Each structure stands twice: as C-alpha cells, then as structure tokens.
Chains A and B, each alone.
Chain A
Amino acid sequence: MLTSSVISELKAIVGSGYVLTDQEDLIIYSNDATVFNHLPAAVVQPANRDEVAAVVKVAAARNIPVTPRGAGTCLSGGAVPLKGGIVLDLARLNKIRTLDAARKIVVAEAGVVTFEITSQAAKLGLLYPPDPSSLKESTIGGNVAECAGGPKGVKYGITRNFVLGLEAVLPDGTIVETGNAVDGDMCGPDWTMLITGSEGTMAIVTAVTLRLVPMPETKKTMLATFDRLENAAKTVSVTMGAGIIPTTLELMDNLSIVAVEKAVRIGLPVEAAGLLLIEVDGVPSTVEENARRVSEICRECGAMEVKIAQSAAEAEDLWVARRAVAKAFGQIAPCKFAEDSTVPRSLIPLLVDKCLEIQKKYDLPMVIVGHAGDGSMHPTIMFDKRDKDAVARAEKALDEVHIVTLELGGTLSGEHGIGSAKAPYLRAEMGPVGYKLGQDVKAALDPQGIMNPGKMFNYEGALH
C-alpha cells in the first residue's frame, strides 16, 4: 500500500488521471503474458522522461519497488510487479524523435510499438530487422529490455545488435545517456549493452537509438518438407556451413504441421516429419544463386519436396503455415509453456530428440517449432490448466527442457528474457562467478533493490 501523500505526490507529477489505484486496474496490471500475477499498489503512466525520473525519485526516497512495463507481452514475467509497489507504464512515451535516412538511425521513445519503427523505416527504404512475433504489440523499450529476437535473427541478429545508444533513468532517479548514434564509436565499457537485456532491473529505458540497414532489394522464399526431422535439422547446419546466410530458417515438426493443417487447411503434407521455411534476401543475382544452392542442399539432405515461391503472393502462401502456428496451438490444448531454448545450430537434432523423449516421459504434447537458423527453438509444452496433474507434469517437463538445453551448451533464453520464469536456472547457466558478478553489478547500480525486484539476480526462490 502506498500512503495517500505518496499517491498525491505521484499525481502531482503525472496528473491525477494517470495514477491508477482502482482494484480493477491493479488486477489488470498484475500480469504480463506469463501465468504469474502480483498486484501493484499503483499504476503510474508518465508522459515523458522527466516524469519517469521524478516518479523514480519518489520511489527511491521511500523504498518503493518499481516495475517498468511496455505492452505487457513479456514471456518471462518481466512486467509482473512481484513485490507490489509501482507499475511504471511507459506506453505514453510513444514518439519517434528522429528518423534519419542519411545516418540510418532512428531515435524512439520506449513506448513506441516496434512495428511503428519497422513501418516508418520501410517508408525510407530502410529495414529494422528484429521481428519478434509480438512485433505489432510490443514496445521498443520492452524489446531492448528483454533483448527480443525473431525469425530474421539468423542473418541480421537480435535486438542487441541494433542498439547504438540509450537514454535511461537510473534507480536513484538520475538520467543517463549511453552510447551514441555514431556506429562503432566506443569510449570505455559498453554501458548500453549492460542495460540492454537487463530487464528493467538496473535502469528504466526511456529512449533508444537504433541502427537501421538498407532494405534488401529482393528475397526468395522456399518451403522444404522432410520425412525425418533429423534431416530437416541437418539441412540447417549444412546450409549455414556452406556459407549461405538465409534471412529466415524456420523449423516446424509433425505435430505443428498437423495442427496447422487442421486449423487453416492449406494442404500441408500431414505425413511429413518436419518442414523448413527458408528465405534468402539481398541483390537479385545473389538471391537467385543462393536459392538454387539452398534447394540443392535440401534435396541432398533428404527433402521430399522443395517449393520455391515464384511471386510475392506465392511467398505469402508459404508463410501462412508458419504464421498459423500460434493459432493452431489452440487446437491441441488451451494452455502452453512457450520456451525459447537456444542451442548451437549443429545440436538442434539432439535438442529435438531430447524434447521428444521428454514429451513421451511426461505424456504431454510438445510442439517443436523455432528459428532453427540461429538455434533458437521453441519447444512448446501443451496442457489444460484445469487438469492439476497435467500442470504438474508440464512443470517437470519444462524443468527438464531447461536442463537439457544447458547440458547441450545452450542458453535458457534466445529472446524471451529471464524474468522470474527462468531465474532459477540462471546461476546454472552463468556459473557461480558470473552469477555473483551479476549480483554485484545489480547492487552497485540499485543498492536499495527497488528496480523490478525478485527477477534475474534478485530471484528469491531455490536456484539450480
């Protein structure tokens, strides 16, 4: 609970309509896209950086926890106010400050929806590549805080690879500007990268400077089907090994193919064990040559069929299957744990095998799709949360997926973040020294521990 004097102070900063304390709103802002909930004491909706700083100063003076929030599409619990206090809703910081075609940069406030950046850049013939599936809802501040990825990551990299600089509010309410818009310029340690992916536990990002790239002249989309999932996985390693970097290399397993076909009826081969959606982009001559070589590799690796789209409309048809995956999940079971286990590309077949074993062991459907090109897979465990026994099995299966990923030398999160969902495994991934270092850095920046408490290095549950 916040005292009425604190509420008045907050209202004085942001305006009384932008401090929400009704029980209805507190419940609405108690969760993100995960199953976790915790009620905040208030939701505060500042309009700009200075209001954010002023709110944080009030919180710091009274030891009030602050949990920043973008669009609340986080898949690791990042926006859940685990210790109550203030949910700082950044949606109103939604201006694109600069879009410079000559310097190929964009400066956007934290609450700008990522798709807005993608669309505005495209108008100038520029590409902002990171394309998380929440692209149309999630905010750039959230993307930077969680270090979001997406299918284009294979060729272009994830959010981190595009952040040149940040404007952020530190836990004491001071404002810091890190990095700058000059690509490659560097003085001292990279504070920008320290804050990127820190999930609001070290600072609140209020604006970001992003690098843009030229829009590729053309692209070619292919769909290959396989009677053995290992062959699909092998195709991925061979393609990358051959020096071809596709824009997209998406993998779908049989369960997802069947579910998608049931949901959208587009004539997918339901007998296929696996399917790869591959896209190459660049200048026309290279694209043609790469498409030809990729389709050869698919066949050499045992593809039953390779379709190459001959037009933009045909390419769109090939994408339908992959895009329908989320919708099709509902056909299998109503609830899911959507993971983002990432392993070295060559080990994808092994990860898939292990997942199939886990699926059998716990007798739960597990759909395996993902951005195979950069090893970022989404083993998705399906269940009905009304069945308590199934929930218990799903949790155990999830636990094993995490362990297996780490055993294969992979990482817990390719793009969804740690939050509280994966915090129990963070020490196991980083090692005791790395983890301790993380705790020390966090304590140095936020000695009161008010920033997004209970997540990452401040997780209070048992560690693996």
Chain B
Amino acid sequence: MNDRECSRIFENELVKCSRCGSCRSICPVSLAENAENATPRSKVRMIEAVLEGELALTPGVQARFDKCLLCKACKANCGGGVATDELILGSRINLVKRNGLNPVKRLAFTSLRYRKLFDLGLKLGAAFQGLIFKDLPDGSGKVARIPLPAAGLNLRRVVPNLTTSPLRTRLPAVNKAKTPETKGRVVFFTGCTLNYMYPQAGEAVVNILTGNGYEVIIPPEQCCCGTPAFTSGDAATGRVLAEQNVRAIGAYKYDHVVTACSSCGAALLAEYGRLLEGSPLLEDWRQLSGKVLDIAQFVVRHCDMTKFGSLPLKITYHDACHLVRGMKVSAEPREIFRAIPGLEYAEMKDADRCCGAGGTFSAVYYELSRKINDWKLDNAEATGMDYVVAGCSACRMHITDGLSQRSSKMKVLHTAEVVAMAYEAGRKG
C-alpha cells in the first residue's frame, strides 16, 4: 500500500468510527485484557491523534498496534462498518517505515524472501530440532528444552514436528488425475505450514483432487504467501513474495487455484491487490484471484460428495478467521460434514471467534494468545466431541499446543483430512 492509498483509506474509515465501543465485546484481545487500550476503537483513536498531530508514530503506538490478531471480527461486527483491519495494516506499514521491524521478524522475513534459504533453514531446523526441542510422549509435537523468547518460544509451548521431507519434495510438480477422464487442472498453492509441518494434510488435498478427476500442479517455484510479513507491516517483503507467487502460478495453465490454508487463500484472493498496487503483475493477479478456492469450497462445488463412505468420527469445527471472514467460507465445511455418513457433528459455542494464534501474535504475546485459546478449547471440549476440525494449520498448531497443555484427549484434524478419510472409507466400501 502506498502513502496516498493509505491516507485515502484512513480518511474514509476514520470518519465512520462513532467510538460506540461495541468492538469491546467482540475483539478477543480486548476481552482478554479488559482494558480500553487494547480495543479496536483505541487504535482508530490513535490514528486520529496521529493525523491531527497530537501524537507521533512512537514505538508506544507501534506496540499497541502489534497487539491485534487481525482476526477481522471487529470489522465484521462494526455498526459503522469501519475497516479496522485495513487501518491496522496500513498503520503497521507506516510504523515499520518509521521505527523498523522487530529484529526477530526482520531476520525471519529476510529468509522468507529467499525461498531456498528458507527451505534450507527449515530443513536444517528439522534435522537439528532435537537439540532445542524434546518430543512429547504421544508424538504430537515438541516443546522447547530452553526458553527462546526471541523466537517466541515459551518453554511450555508445543510446536509441531518439522518434517524432514516437506510436502513439495514428497510429491511431483504434476499429479495426474486418478480417474479415466481429466475434468480440469488445479494449481495447489501449498503454503508453508502444509509444506513443512503438516504434509499429511497437503497429501489429503492432492488425493481429494486427483480422486475427483483433477490434475494437480504444485508449482515448485511457489514461496511463502507473504502474510506474516505484510501483516507485520513489512509491505516490501510482502510484495516480493506476492510477485514471486503470481509468476510461479502464472507459469501454468489452470482452471482453479486451490488453497488449504486460510491465510494463504485470503492473501491470494484479496490481500495481494493492495500489495501489488502499481506492479506490472497486478493484472496477472486479478486473473488468478478469480480462480482461487479454498479446498472446502472446491469439494462442495466440484467434487462428488455422494462417494463419501461411513466415517464414525465425532467432530466439532473451528472457523479460522481468514477462512470465515477473509474468504467467507463457513457454510461449506458444515455442508461437507452433513454429507459424510456416520459422522457425528456438534457446533461449538463461538465457533467463529479467533483461536488466539494470529500468526506472529502468538510468538510475541504467548501468554495472552494462550488465554484466548483457552476459551476456544473450553468451548470445543464442551461439545463432547473427539476432534476439533479446522481449515487452517496455524489454528491447528495453536489449538494442538493448547490441548496438549491441558492434557486433553481431543485431537485436531484439517478439513481436507476428514474429506480424504471419507473418500477412503467410500473406496473400501
């Protein structure tokens, strides 16, 4: 976002805020902190003060703007329709320009720009993770042996195992349809978490698509979608990554682009528009954007849901913020669950409230994000189901961590894994 666009958005949005304070009961951070200086309204107030010259873009302002999950709940519930998420993103970009990035983030985002370096870093990480982390007895993840506050690793925090063979090294770039006829070509944008942490969920996506007659392209040149960078205010890195992905996907002919990570999906679908302002690739992105579907949408629209076999799982569903409010996907997963024979489904209270992960938020404010996550877990456990299903691996990571902390019996699955299991059950009859 350039300065001109930024001030235009600011002006149009600020005027709409009536300061009513209804965001207090919606914003998970405000609820957890129970203080005015954590509310979305207070951020609007600070921007107003900055524009009126009463306040400089101080590190104090930056700290207060960092305390936001970007869950978009305030915007969705705002009477005046204030696009608080845009205001916060725009402000973070300006604050980073002025005060610089937090050094840990700077290092992380630099490696994101260099895909191979990032690849190497995470592979090395996988090989050496035993030095820093110890395995949990049930194999569901790891906890840090020593506190690494700089990396946002609290001693308690359970992080998933980094795989030694990422998804994109397990699967070829082109995966043929498993049906006699090919219905179309799908580009699968894997994103980082499916590639490095949950490759089994990525494989599930590919199995669903190829099993329904689609050829699946996994462009090897794709890189991080850029969400962690641009949501932290590093628009330059965000743009480099957006351009790289638009080029990587554009190198193929395709009918659809499928994502299975809500943040990647929302970035490809909408957020890139802002990042690519003035870029020669803007038009290419527009073409691409019209073809982006989350895997749940794709299943409902293009897959045969009559082939689901009986799957006696007891599940509840968590709406990832960037899926329900970023991509407007919430009916589809529920439609899928209703279509699976034998599956027992119970809706949890506040299913669409943020789980507290918020990307780098949970690294910087771990205890706060844990408190927010605990509400989610209480609601999930209250359903009496065995699994929490989500369409986002960042949520999955944070929910898994929380469940492990409280020694819960509940497990987490990706929507795609449930769908793939239902198809598998169907094939076995």
**A interface residues, Cβ below 8 angstroms from B:** 20, 22-25, 27-35, 45, 69, 71-73, 89, 91-92, 94, 113, 115, 134, 136-138, 326-327, 329-330, 334-336, 384-386
Contacts and interface: CB of A to CB of B under 8 A. Distances in A.
Given A22-B60, A24-B60, A113-B25, A92 B34 contact: yes
Contacts of B61: 24
B36 A72 contact: yes
B21 A71 contact: yes
4 smallest CB-CB distances across A and B, nearest first, come from A136-B25, A326-B79, A73-B21, A28-B42
Interface in B1-38: 11, 15-16, 18-22, 24-25, 34-37
Given A23-B58, A335-B18, 10 more contacts: A23-B55, A24-B55, A28-B36, A28-B45, A30-B45, A32-B21, A69-B36, A138-B21, A384-B15, A386-B15
Max count, chain A CB within 10 A of own CB: residue among B16, B21, B55, B64: B21
B36 A134 contact: no
Max count, chain B CB within 10 A of own CB: residue among A24, A35, A45, A94: A24
B136 interface: no
Nearest to B48: A27
A115 to B, nearest CB: 7
Prevailing SS type, chain A contact patch? loop
B181 interface: no
B21 A327 contact: no
A361 to B, nearest CB: 24
A89 B36 contact: yes
A31 B64 CA distance: 18
Given A28-B37, A72-B36, A33 B15 contact: no
Nearest to A45: B35
Interface residues of B, number: 27
B46 A24 contact: yes
A334 B16 contact: yes
A27 B25 contact: no
A35 B14 CA distance: 13
B312 interface: no
Contacts of B80: 329-330, 334
Contacts of B81: 327, 330
Given A23-B55, A23-B60, A137 B15 contact: no
Given A23-B60, A32-B19, A327-B81, A137 B37 contact: no
Contacts of A115: 25
A228 B16 CA distance: 32
A329 B79 contact: yes
B151 interface: no
A33 B55 contact: no
A33 B37 contact: no
Nearest to B33: A91
A426 B19 CA distance: 25
A307 to B, nearest CB: 25
B49 interface: yes
Interface in B51-96: 54-55, 58, 60-61, 64, 79-81
Contacts of A22: 60
Contacts of B64: 24
Given A32-B19, A334-B15, A386-B15, A24 B24 contact: no
Interface in B242-286: none
24 contacts: A20-B37, A23-B58, A24-B55, A25-B37, A27-B46, A27-B49, A27-B54, A31-B45, A33-B18, A33-B21, A45-B35, A72-B36, A73-B21, A73-B24, A113-B25, A134-B20, A134-B21, A137-B22, A138-B21, A326-B20, A326-B22, A334-B15, A335-B16, A385-B15
Contacts of B79: 326-327, 329-330
A23 B46 CA distance: 10
Max count, chain A CB within 10 A of own CB: residue among B20, B25, B34: B20
Contacts of B45: 27-28, 30-31
Contacts of A24: 37, 46, 55, 58, 60-61, 64
B296 to A, nearest CB: 25
A34 B36 contact: no
